[in-house]
């Protein structure tokens, strides 16, 4: 939907759609054309109809089109979620359509596995280099004893390495290696050999450059096509793309690839409930076909294949991580503004802000789980 973007807030129309939206907002602390940084400034009179008809998809697209503004979308999202507007913000047709799709189709089949890479991760390395820190970690940092994004990401990488008990000469598999963050770190600091796989061509290209000269093999490959055996396996921020129909296959694959005395670390965003849902806006513009696992999804799929040794939740740390990425986008967008439209900039601002608000409201979690194949002895995970 497109229309002329209005400059500045407009008088609120006396319509049923406006009154319904105001009723939904009542008690949340978020108002229309208010003075707080988390209030919604309406720039187009059709905003209300669009949101009521299209739900969260319409809300996100309206922001991309300049139909509304809000200095602190993160605070707005946090307040709305804590007010209980999460699931209610999805229209019945949105919920029905996704359930029908996931009921009849495997949205994360091998034939569709590369869609998210092409849509999001291949958007441009120059954009992600501005948004992320020098490690190029595109996952939650570990802010314990950290006062910067870079230190939080280094802490996360080393936490993973210590949980895996890395030792020189080990063969390590990195499922969803991204731009080579962990592969580079582990090979350089722990002198291990790393095989990293990704479904993004842009990620693979940059990861190979970053790991040049290290014992690292970066492959453009789906996890279901892997073979061999590895002493350690790690997967950081990839499980969200696996899909509930493939969880059993994923854990069976890890079991087959992991040595008998090996360890596997899974780092993933987690959902508080086990409903198979996806936000329509995020599904369309950011992570196509993504599904967040619940605790039940993970344990039920893993129990026939691996032994759970440790489970840590530091979801609260994703809030400062996302806000740091948002700050980088705002501070450095001028460096790439000629190559990306303002609509893309607003898309990233909305995505990072809303996600930060969701973690702040504890609507989403970040889990690190360590599994073994039932090796002997006690496992004590570092913190």
Q: Which domains does the chain have, with CATH numbers?
A: 16-101 (no CATH), 110-372 (3.40.50.150)
**By three-state DSSP, how is residue 234 classified?**
strand
171 exposed, middle or buried (CB, 10 Å; 0-12, 13-18, 19+)? Answer: middle
Catalytic residue selected from 78, 137, 177, 355: 355
Residues 6+ apart with CB under 8 A from 196: 173, 174, 177, 180, 182, 183, 207, 211, 216, 217, 218, 219
> What does the pLDDT profile of the chain (383 residues) look like in tens digits?
444 444 678 999 999 999 999 999 999 999 999 999 999 999 999 999 999 999 999 999 999 999 999 999 999 999 999 999 866 555 555 555 445 444 544 554 455 556 666 778 888 999 999 999 999 999 999 999 999 999 999 999 999 999 999 999 999 999 999 999 999 999 999 999 999 999 999 999 999 999 999 999 999 999 999 999 999 999 999 999 998 889 999 999 999 999 999 999 999 999 999 988 788 999 999 988 788 999 999 999 999 999 999 999 999 999 999 999 999 999 999 999 999 999 999 999 999 999 999 999 999 999 999 999 999 999 999 99
Is 137 an active-site residue? no
| 41 beta partners | 69
């Amino acid at each position: 939907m497109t229309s002329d973007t209005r400059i500045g807030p407009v008088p609120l129309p006396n319509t049923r759609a406006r009154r319904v939206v105001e009723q939904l907002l009542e008690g949340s602390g978020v108002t229309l054309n208010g003075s707080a940084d988390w209030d919604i400034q309406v720039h187009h009179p059709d905003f209300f109809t669009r949101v009521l008809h299209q739900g969260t998809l319409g809300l996100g697209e309206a922001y991309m089109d300049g139909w509304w503004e809000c200095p602190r979308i993160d605070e707005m999202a946090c307040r709305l979620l804590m007010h209980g507007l999460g699931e209610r913000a999805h229209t019945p047709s949105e919920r029905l359509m996704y359930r029908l799709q996931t009921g009849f189709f495997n949205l994360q089949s091998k034939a569709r596995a590369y869609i998210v890479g092409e849509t999001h991760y291949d958007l441009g390395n120059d954009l992600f280099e501005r948004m992320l820190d020098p490690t190029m970690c595109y996952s939650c940092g570990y802010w314990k004893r950290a006062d910067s994004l870079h230190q939080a990401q280094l802490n996360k990488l080393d936490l993973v390495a210590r949980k895996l008990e890395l030792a020189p000469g080990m063969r390590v598999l990195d499922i969803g290696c991204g731009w080579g963050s962990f592969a580079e770190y582990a090979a350089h600091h722990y002198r291990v050999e790393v095989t990293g796989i990704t479904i993004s061509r842009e990620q693979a290209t940059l990861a190979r450059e970053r790991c040049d000269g290290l014992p690292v093999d970066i492959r453009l490959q789906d996890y279901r096509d892997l073979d061999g055996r590895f002493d350690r396996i790690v997967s950081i921020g990839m499980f969200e793309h696996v899909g509930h129909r493939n969880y059993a296959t994923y854990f069976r694959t890890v079991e087959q690839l992991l040595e008998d005395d090996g360890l596997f670390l899974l780092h993933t965003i987690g959902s508080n409930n086990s409903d198979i849902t996806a936000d329509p806006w995020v599904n369309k513009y950011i992570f196509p076909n993504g599904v967040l696992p619940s605790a039940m999804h993970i344990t039920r799929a893993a129990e026939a294949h691996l032994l759970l040794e440790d489970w840590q939740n530091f979801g609260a740390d994703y809030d400062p991580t996302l806000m740091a990425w948002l700050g980088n986008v705002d501070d450095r967008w001028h460096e790439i503004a000629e190559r990306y439209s303002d609509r893309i900039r607003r898309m990233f601002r909305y995505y990072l802000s809303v996600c930060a608000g969701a973690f702040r409201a504890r609507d989403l979690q970040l889990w690190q789980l360590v599994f073994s194949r039932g090796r002997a002895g006690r496992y004590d995970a570092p913190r």
